[in-house]
Amino acid sequence: MDVLILIGYAAAIIIGVSLGLIGGGGSILTVPVLVYILGVDPVLATAYSLFVVGSTSLVGAGNYMRQGLVDYKTALVFAIPSFIAVFLTRKFLVPWLPDPLFTVGETIVSKNMGIMVFFALIMLAASFSMIRSKKCKDCDEESEVKFNIPMIALEGSVVGLITGIVGAGGGFLIIPALVILAKLPMKLAVGTSLLIIAAKSLIGFLGDVSNQTIDWNMLLIFTGLSVVGIFIGSALSKKINDKALKKGFGWFVLIMGIYIIGKELFGA
């Protein structure tokens, strides 16, 4: 087996471990691993990422559901517009995007370049969220759930659009929205977020089945290894300082985002 394939599969386990340790973030590395290590086309990689993220998040959500740490009403209000946005984005918007996207002088911005640069910008936003994360006074307190339905639905639509374009779960956007807009305690927000991510990612992947040729063998192996990583990460989470880990992972994502922008724009 090719060395790069082995490295890619090892990275799949690491992605799962990070999800198990900090409840999110790891999925944002799925597309770069698929593109730069396994040589998958960027558009197809975002589709694969939806399946990987959806499947691994579903496993994580199941654990929270067994503990009663999922708010189904909030998940429904957030998820319905998110489902619609991610499905329509994958089914119609992504295939509709022209290639090249546009030309600036002598510089041609291809569809693949545009997707990867946009993805890198999302990585930068995610990294800042993880690095600067501060403890919310109300996050760990039990409180009555209060709904701002229009804002939750709007946030769901925006996250669905982003997920559809770049294939990332969007947990770094979902969890703050659930804490601030629905007033959910942090543990409940994490469990609810995983369920939302799982459902919308898998539904988004359905929008790709008819548009892409899927390498099921590679995809299922990659996903299975990520799921194994989740269980490893969950076991390790009891022994590792998750705050320090999250901040360190944030710096790593920041470096990766800068690298992708440099590679795509300047051939670095």
Q: In tens digits, what is the pLDDT along the chain, a chain of 268 residues?
A: 688 899 999 999 988 887 777 666 666 788 889 998 999 998 888 889 889 988 988 988 888 899 898 999 889 988 899 888 888 888 888 888 888 888 877 778 888 888 888 888 887 887 887 787 655 544 444 445 556 788 888 888 888 888 788 767 677 678 777 877 777 887 788 888 888 888 888 888 887 777 778 899 999 999 999 999 888 887 787 777 667 776 777 787 788 889 888 888 887 5
What's the confidence (pLDDT) of residue 222? 96
**pLDDT score of 8:** 92
Residue 1, classified by CB atoms within 10 Å of its CB into exposed (0-12), middle (13-18) or buried (19+), is exposed
Which residues span the domain enclosing 7?
A: 3-266
Alpha-carbon distance of 127 to 28, in angstroms, equals 10
Q: Report how many domains make up the chain.
A: 1
Please name the amino acid found at residue 180. Answer: I
Report the first-to-last Cα separation within the chain, whole angstroms.
28
What stretch of H or E contains 103? strand 102-104
Residue 8: is it exposed, middle or buried by C-beta count within 10 angstroms (0-12/13-18/19+)? buried
